[in-house]
Copies of this chain bind each other. A is one copy, B any other.
Amino acid sequence: MAQPTDSTVNKTAHAFERASLESLLIRRFFFAPAFEIYGGVKGLYDYGPPGSSLQANILDTWRKHFIIEEEMLELDTTIMTLSDVLKTSGHVDKFTDWMVKDSKTNEVYRADHLVEGVLEARLKGDKEARGVQEVQEVEDPTQKKKKKKVKSVAVKLEDDVVAEYESILAKIDNYTGAELGQLIREHKIVAPETGNEVTEPVEFNLMFDSSIGPTGQIKGYLRPETAQGHFVNFNRLLDFNNGRVPFASAQIGRSFRNEISPRSGLLRVREFTMAEIEHFVDPLDKSHERFESVKDIMLRLLPKDVQAAGKTDISELTVGEAVSSGMVDNETLGFFIARIHLFLTKIGINPQRLRFRQHMANEMAHYAADCWDAEIETSYGWIECVGCADRSAYDLTVHSVKTGNKLVVRQPLKEPRIVDKIVANIDKKAFGPMFKREAKAIEEAILSLSDECLKKAMDELNTKQCANGQKYEVPVSVLQIKPTQIKEMVREFVPNVIEPSFGIGRILYSLLEHSYWARADDVNRAVLSLPPTVAPIKCLIVPLSSNAEFKPLVTKVSNKLRALGVASRVDDSNASIGKRYARNDELGTPFGVTLDFASVSKGTMTLRERDTTLQLIGSIDEVVQVVYELCRGDLTWDEARQRLPAYSGEQDASS
- Kindly identify which residue among B45, B68, B211 contacts A562, using a CB–CB cutoff of 8 Å: B68
User: How many identical chains are in the complex?
Assistant: 2
Among the 9-residue stretches A117-125, A228-236, A333-341, A488-496, the one with 4 or more Cβ atoms under 8 Å from chain B is A228-236
Question: In the complex, A99 Cα to B216 Cα: how many Å?
Answer: 14
Determine whether the beta carbon of B106 is less than 8 Å from that of A405. Answer: no
CB distance from A22 to the nearest CB of B (A): 15
Determine whether the beta carbon of B242 is less than 8 Å from that of A573. Answer: yes
Determine whether the beta carbon of B240 is less than 8 Å from that of A82. Answer: no
Query: Which residues of the other chain, B, contact A209 by a CB distance below 8 angstroms?
Result: 210
User: CB of A51 within 8 A of chain B?
Assistant: yes
Can you name the residue of chain B whose Cβ is closest to the Cβ of A583?
Answer: B242
User: CB of A195 within 8 A of chain B?
Assistant: no
Max chain B Cβ within 10 angstroms of own Cβ: one of A29, A84, A209, A218:
A29
Query: Which residues of the other chain, B, contact A45 by a CB distance below 8 angstroms?
Result: 78
Chain A residues numbered 61-84 whose CB sits less than 8 Å from any CB in chain B: 63, 68-69, 71, 73-82, 84
Per-residue interface assignment for chain A, residues 240 to 261, with 1 indicating a CB less than 8 Å from any chain B CB and 0 otherwise: 1010000001010110101010
Chain A residues numbered 550-565 whose CB sits less than 8 Å from any CB in chain B: 562
Query: Which residues of the other chain, B, contact A465 by a CB distance below 8 angstroms?
Result: none
Per-residue interface assignment for chain A, residues 34 to 51, with 1 indicating a CB less than 8 Å from any chain B CB and 0 otherwise: 111110011011111101
CB distance from A431 to the nearest CB of B (A): 25
CB distance from A561 to the nearest CB of B (A): 10
Determine whether the beta carbon of A38 is less than 8 Å from that of B82. Answer: yes
Question: In the complex, A121 Cα to B174 Cα: how many Å?
Answer: 63
- Kindly identify which residue among B82, B211, B220, B569 contacts A71, using a CB–CB cutoff of 8 Å: B569
Determine whether the beta carbon of A78 is less than 8 Å from that of B271. Answer: yes
- Kindly identify which residue among B38, B68, B99, B236 contacts A84, using a CB–CB cutoff of 8 Å: B38
Determine whether the beta carbon of A469 is less than 8 Å from that of B214. Answer: no
Determine whether the beta carbon of A236 is less than 8 Å from that of B48. Answer: yes
Among the 9-residue stretches A52-60, A127-135, A300-308, A387-395, the one with 4 or more Cβ atoms under 8 Å from chain B is A52-60
CB distance from A375 to the nearest CB of B (A): 25
Determine whether the beta carbon of B77 is less than 8 Å from that of A49. Answer: no
- Kindly identify which residue among B41, B145, B208, B240 contacts A49, using a CB–CB cutoff of 8 Å: B240
Can you name the residue of chain B whose Cβ is closest to the Cβ of A407?
Answer: B37
Known contacts A35-B85, A254-B254: does B46 contact A77 (CB below 8 Å)?
A: yes
- Kindly identify which residue among B38, B41, B48, B213 contacts A258, using a CB–CB cutoff of 8 Å: B213
A residues with CB within 8 A of B: 28-29, 32, 34-38, 41-42, 44-49, 51-53, 55-56, 63, 68-69, 71, 73-82, 84-85, 99, 106, 108, 145, 204, 208-215, 218, 220, 222, 229, 232-233, 235-237, 239-240, 242, 249, 251, 253-254, 256, 258, 260, 270-271, 273, 399, 403, 405, 407, 469, 562, 567, 569, 573
18 A–B contact pairs at CB < 8 A? A28-B240, A29-B240, A34-B77, A34-B229, A36-B232, A37-B403, A37-B405, A41-B82, A41-B212, A44-B78, A46-B77, A48-B75, A48-B233, A79-B79, A99-B214, A108-B214, A208-B211, A254-B254
Q: Which 3 A-B pairs have the closest CB atoms?
A: A47-B76, A52-B74, A46-B77
